[in-house]
Amino acid sequence: MDTTSAITQRYACRAFLDSPVSTEIITHILDTARWAPSGVNTQPWRVAVVSGQRKQAITDALIQVRDSGQEPNPDYQYYPANWQEPYRNRRKVCGLTMYRALDIRREDTEKQKQAWYNNYRFFGAPIGLFVFIDAELAQGSWLDLGMFIQNIMLAAVDTGLATCPQASLADYPDVIRQQLDWPATDKLACGLSLGYADTSQPVNQYRLEREPVDSYTKWYE
**Amino acid sitting at position 213:** V
Give the pLDDT score at 111: 87
Domain map of the chain by residue range?
A: 13-70+121-139+164-186
End-to-end CA distance of the chain: 35
Give pLDDT < 70 ranges for the chain.
none
pTM above 0.85, yes or no: yes
Give 123: exposed, middle or buried? Use CB within 10 Å, 0-12, 13-18, 19+.
buried
Give the pLDDT score at 103: 87
Q: Which fold has domain 13-70+121-139+164-186?
A: NADH Oxidase (3.40.109)
Give 16: exposed, middle or buried? Use CB within 10 Å, 0-12, 13-18, 19+.
buried
The model's pLDDT over 153-195, given as tens digits with 9 standing for 90+, comes to: 999 999 999 999 999 999 999 999 999 999 999 999 999 999 9
Give the pLDDT score at 4: 95
